[in-house]
Amino acid sequence: MHATSDSPTFPETLAGVPLDLFASLPRSDQRLKAEEYVAGLLAAHGRKTLRNVADQFGGEAARKQSVHHFISESSWEWEPVRRGLARHADELLAPQAWVVRPTVVPKAGGHSVGVAEYFVPELGRTVTGQQSYGAWLASPAAGVPVNWQLVLPADWVEDDSRRRRAHIPETSRALSPEENAGDVALRAARSLPGTPHPVVLDAPGLDPLRMGRYFEAAGIPLVQRVDDRIRLRVDPLALPGHGVLPHTPGRLVASLRRLWRPYAPLTGGGRSLTMTVPVTLHEARDGGGREAGGARLLVAQWPEADPSAVRLWLADPGMRPGDALRFASLAEVVDRYDALASARVGLRDFAGRSFQGWHRHITLASVAHLACVRTAGAAAGRVGDAALRGRTRVRVGAAGRPLLLRAG
């Protein structure tokens, strides 16, 4: 990890890793290797490949084989580690919502598990790569990824040879985008006790009617990003005389200038505008042609200088406009922290081919990101000493490589 004169040092950052995250690993050597892998992610420069991580501890052939086996072929389970990660992130951030978002990582060739062609809205084109959905706990101050779902197309789960080579579990099946997003959000929400946090689904293109019903059944408030292809009707009780014809969200925003209001983005920047209005999904009809279950709150956000950069959201109809806007704004926080985590700890750098390896790497990379957030927060005075108790003890060798010491 590169450090500036006023940023936390490598030992300080590694000290932010809570050792109890690895208590679920059954053997002491597995717990030590988990600590070493996180240390390697934090210490390595460039891409955080298995080879680069192993190089932080000497780079001998035996060491590289040991790292590869621990990530790609070992038997330890990642779900208990993710539950501990959720607990620590919840204590650290006092989060306001889960932010669920898809990521496509370009891949050359077809050997990495899950590789297929995916459309990337931000690029406006199809990309060959791996797609996953991540669930982040987010507050206005920071975001931490907690749970992950790797998309497995039918070509991967229905081809016995491919399934065996990638070690894909027999229980895995091809899911729709709505199922993938819903599953990772629900598993993340259930990883913490008490009333679940709202979910901010930052994935344009998913069926809003289907997702709304899914989260309503789970009892979880939802704010969902949508694209400009859906059709909405303005609630006539909220805006009498506007008309009953359906319009795209963008058309509604442009035609309702009297509802535009200034707002301050969580990530700073220039002057921005927002608009909220109750609407109904045009596609929501029952067997008799009546509107059924389609009521939503349309929330739009955009920089005043660039209306084309508008973000469009649909929130639960009972949600207060201010809350819906606040939750939606957390997606901007996760945008920033996703970019930081990708560069610092290699969230997108796994180059192996196995299903288990992908999940173990991204879980430990998420732990490394938590350490970065904890330590940066402590340095800035935002995190108390209690958040750094039970930490890893570390010293740095003469060659600058991390040498872990067992704690306790």
Summarised one tens digit per residue, pLDDT across range 355-403 is: 999 999 999 999 999 999 988 876 565 544 333 333 333 344 434 444 4
Q: Is residue 82 part of a domain?
A: yes
Element (H, E) at 325: helix 321-345
Q: Is residue 331 part of a domain?
A: no
Q: Is a pLDDT exceeding 60 seen at residue 201?
A: yes
Assess whether 264 and 178 both reside in one domain. no
Residue 139 near residue 94, CB atoms below 8 Å: yes
Q: Is a pLDDT exceeding 90 seen at residue 242?
A: no
* Alpha-carbon separation of residue 110 from 33, 340, 353 (angstroms): 29, 28, 10
Rounded-to-integer distance, Cα 388 and Cα 262, Å: 39
pLDDT in tens, 229-240: 999 999 888 888
* pLDDT number for residue 293: 65
Assess whether 76 and 140 both reside in one domain. yes
Assess whether 231 and 351 both reside in one domain. no
Residue 15, C-beta contacts closer than 8 angstroms, at least 6 positions apart: 371, 375, 388, 391, 392, 393, 394
Q: Which residue has the higher pLDDT, 263 or 404?
A: 263
Q: Is residue 5 part of a domain?
A: no
* pLDDT number for residue 349: 92
Number of domains in the chain: 2
**What share of the chain in percent tops pLDDT 90?**
64
Q: Which residue has the higher pLDDT, 290 or 237?
A: 237
Q: Which residue has the higher pLDDT, 329 or 5?
A: 329
CB-CB neighbours of 383 under 10 Å: 21
Assess whether 258 and 300 both reside in one domain. yes
Structural domain including 303 reads 222-318
Q: Is residue 174 part of a domain?
A: yes
Assess whether 201 and 248 both reside in one domain. no
pLDDT band at 207 (very low <50, low <70, confident <90, very high): very high
Q: Is residue 141 part of a domain?
A: yes
* pLDDT number for residue 407: 32
Strand partners, 18: 391
pLDDT in tens, 321-351: 999 999 999 999 999 999 999 999 999 999 8
If you average pLDDT over every residue of the chain, what do you get?
A: 86
Residue 185 near residue 145, CB atoms below 8 Å: no
Q: Is a pLDDT exceeding 90 seen at residue 24?
A: yes
Assess whether 128 and 237 both reside in one domain. no
Assess whether 278 and 347 both reside in one domain. no
Rounded-to-integer distance, Cα 154 and Cα 253, Å: 39
Residue 91 near residue 74, CB atoms below 8 Å: no
* pLDDT number for residue 124: 78
* pLDDT number for residue 393: 39
Assess whether 195 and 239 both reside in one domain. no
Q: Is residue 384 part of a domain?
A: yes
Assess whether 268 and 226 both reside in one domain. yes
* pLDDT number for residue 378: 62
* Alpha-carbon separation of residue 146 from 78, 82, 87, 342 (angstroms): 11, 6, 9, 14
pLDDT in tens, 291-325: 556 899 999 999 988 988 999 999 999 999 999 99
Strand partners, 126: 119
Structure-token match 């045009």, residue found? 282
* pLDDT number for residue 2: 40
* pLDDT number for residue 282: 80
Assess whether 56 and 199 both reside in one domain. yes
* pLDDT number for residue 87: 95
User: How many Cα neighbours within 13 Å face the side chain of 279?
Assistant: 29
State mean pLDDT over 46-75: 87
